[in-house]
Amino acid sequence: MSKATIAVIAAVSAGAGAAATAAMYSLRSADKKPDIQTTTTTTTTKTVSKAAPIPPSQVFTQQTTTTSTAPLPVPGAVPVPQRTSSPVNPSGLFEYGFPGPISDIATRAALISSFDRRLRNPQWVVEHITADSLAQRDGDRKNSAFLEDPAVPDKFRAKLKDYFRSGYDRGHQVPAADCKWSQSAMDETFYLTNMCPQVGEGFNRDYWAHFEDYCRRLTTKYPSVRIVTGPLYLPRRDPADNKWYVKYEVIGNPPNVAVPTHFYKVIFAEEDGTSGGNGNVALGAFVLPNAPIPNDKPLADFEVPVEAVERASGLEFATKLPVARRKRLCAETSCSIVVREYAQRQQAFAKK
Amino acid sequence: MSKATIAVIAAVSAGAGAAATAAMYSLRSADKKPDIQTTTTTTTTKTVSKAAPIPPSQVFTQQTTTTSTAPLPVPGAVPVPQRTSSPVNPSGLFEYGFPGPISDIATRAALISSFDRRLRNPQWVVEHITADSLAQRDGDRKNSAFLEDPAVPDKFRAKLKDYFRSGYDRGHQVPAADCKWSQSAMDETFYLTNMCPQVGEGFNRDYWAHFEDYCRRLTTKYPSVRIVTGPLYLPRRDPADNKWYVKYEVIGNPPNVAVPTHFYKVIFAEEDGTSGGNGNVALGAFVLPNAPIPNDKPLADFEVPVEAVERASGLEFATKLPVARRKRLCAETSCSIVVREYAQRQQAFAKK
């Protein structure tokens, strides 16, 4: 744990001027519990017993209980006579429609994405790569075009015009290069529901691309690699008042799409090649600032405990993966990028 | 519409130094479509056909379709031979658990709340008030205590210590004063899942309290009033570079709970006293900055189109309420606060 915590702190200073502040999330986890945990998602919903029910799609429950009007215990509260019936019915509001939030989940052959209607970014995008899938080369990105996703209602949709002249790249979360196995798969990666505004030079076109290449190279060691990628919006401490603030740009006119401060990847490298089996899984989590990163910065500096990504994103990863099956990716492999100096190679080639 | 849009613009300058910038949301709606709409929530999810399914609780679908690997049409893309099988299976990731996001929905007698695990604030809290419910006075807030909500997993929970010495009030979204009809109902409003960090002086203890009182007074005209309340995090334009930024504080050590920049209320005043009937409903939406507001500021200045709240929150309100049943609250009633100068009254009373 302390190793991982130190890595996070290192990552904080690593951002080459960016506000990398994932530290407080992992520091707290270091205080309280080990990084690896086996809790399952707890139930947090009770069903409504009268009038309009909460839509089944919004009920996150494993064991349904009916609502009772019995008071929940309040420390220090004076017991009062118990009313047996309520004069109001809050759930009647749902007759007018359930407010949400709805995460638009797109299930495609190449990826599965969950879209945040408020920030107009994906919350996560899931992919799967193998040596075989990467070896197939039927798709070419010059045949693909960036696309608004019509599955998202218009008023919540990220638009091409939001990105236009914003100064940010339309940054793939699942890389196009991971889906060359068919043109249609590659095309699917070009939906804006797979895209976040990313700093181009020094990040999306450089360090982040090398990081994506690192993920692909894992398939030489592991028969199956699964990756979850998504944005983060992390606070940084303002030295002026010593308080923590989240600050991010919103692009578009009117402003529409949030610019994440950081990106995460949670990587599952499967030793036996299946997620449903009993084989070991090498887990790695990384948080990188949305900013230029020097190529000589070690990738391991950006390694964080999985729980740090969970606290920062509000999501949970690997809750059903037993501790006994987990390994630490950066202990099993060398977590380092290989910088391919494309420009230099091109020049060398041209001189031949 | 232009009236409403002007109101929003007025509200922008109304924040008494606060960053009230709901404008761009309503301005865009003014460009494109009328405020009142009857669209229902569209389906955005396809089910996965193999391996681990997306949990039913996460599938927001009205009509289930099975996934096909057929490519979606890409404008300008060159047709390529169609692969009949995929070499990968992204949904296998869900064998390790579904990432979420989960909104923790608490269904209580007094309120229903939906909690945002990332920002550690509610997304919305729903209540219902009537003249009868307000007339019953069995609860007293001096018997209630603020409570962390154990229904939210520890790592995503708002904590009492996050608020301690933060400089912000633990601001009720459903007011305690709306739930005097029983002590247990009032107690329920004291869960932190019903709370957001609010500026105390000049806002939570003043203008916002007068606004809550306005809502209660609606029960003298309408037999049933439903209110949805929640936080917003709105961008403002930085004059230095003319770009839009969202900036908010995060309280706690380590930082844990976001401080909203604004708050909304969407009010449904039901003429026939039921949500399930066919009576008319007077709809009003308001966005107020989380900042001191002078008491002489007209409440009507903060009225916004419902769609402005929807765009800013990513939520949807009243999608199932037909246009024919809708009225505009601020046209049906006087949208104005009544400032009760408690301190002055107390003084006057003491002198008698």
> B348 to chain A, minimum CA–CA distance in Å?
33
What pLDDT score does B344 carry?
56
What pLDDT score does A350 carry?
52
Q: Measured in whole angstroms, how far is the alpha carbon of residue A124 from the centre of its chain?
A: 4
Handedness of CA B120, A66, A59, B37 (dihedral sign): negative
What pLDDT score does A35 carry?
33
Q: Which of A86, A108, A182 sits opposite B109 (nearest CB)?
A: A86
Q: What is the mean pLDDT of chain B?
A: 81
| Nearest to B125, CA basis, from B226, B251, B219 | B226
The b-or-e profile of B99-125 (16+ CB within 10 A means b, else e) is bbbbbbbbbbbbbbbbbbbbbbbbbbb
B295-321 tens-digit pLDDT: 999 999 999 999 999 999 999 999 999
| Nearest to B264, CA basis, from B288, B283, B246, B280 | B288
Q: What whole-number percentage of chain B has pLDDT above 90? A: 70
Interatomic CA distance for residues A7 and A301, integer angstroms: 5
Handedness of CA A343, A344, A349, A351 (dihedral sign): positive
Chain A contact for B41, CB < 8 A?
Answer: yes
Chain B contact for A342, CB < 8 A?
Answer: no
Q: What whole-number percentage of chain B has pLDDT above 70? A: 73
Rounded mean pLDDT for each run of 10 residues along chain A, 352 residues in total: 38 35 36 32 33 48 32 41 74 96 97 98 98 95 96 97 98 98 97 98 97 97 97 98 98 98 98 86 98 97 98 97 96 91 55 48
Distances (CA, A) of A18 to A11, A123, A226: 10, 21, 28
B54-80 tens-digit pLDDT: 555 444 333 323 333 333 344 444 444
pTM of the model: 0.81
Binned at pLDDT 50, 70 and 90, residue B342 comes out as low
Q: Which of B144, B155, B319 sits opposite A311 (nearest CB)?
A: B155
What pLDDT score does B60 carry?
38
B326-328/B281-289 β-pairing: parallel
A240-275 tens-digit pLDDT: 999 999 999 999 999 999 999 999 999 999 999 877
What pLDDT score does B277 carry?
81
Interatomic CA distance for residues A211 and B175, integer angstroms: 49
Q: What whole-number percentage of chain A has pLDDT above 70? A: 73
B144-161 tens-digit pLDDT: 999 999 999 999 999 999
A60-75 tens-digit pLDDT: 333 323 333 333 344 4
**Record: contact A92-B128, CB cut-off 8 A:** yes
Asked if residues B256 and B168 have their Cβ atoms less than 8 Å apart, the reply is no
Q: Helix or strand or coil: residue A340? A: coil
Annotated ligand binding at A204? The verdict is yes
**Chain A residue with minimum CA distance to B144:** A77
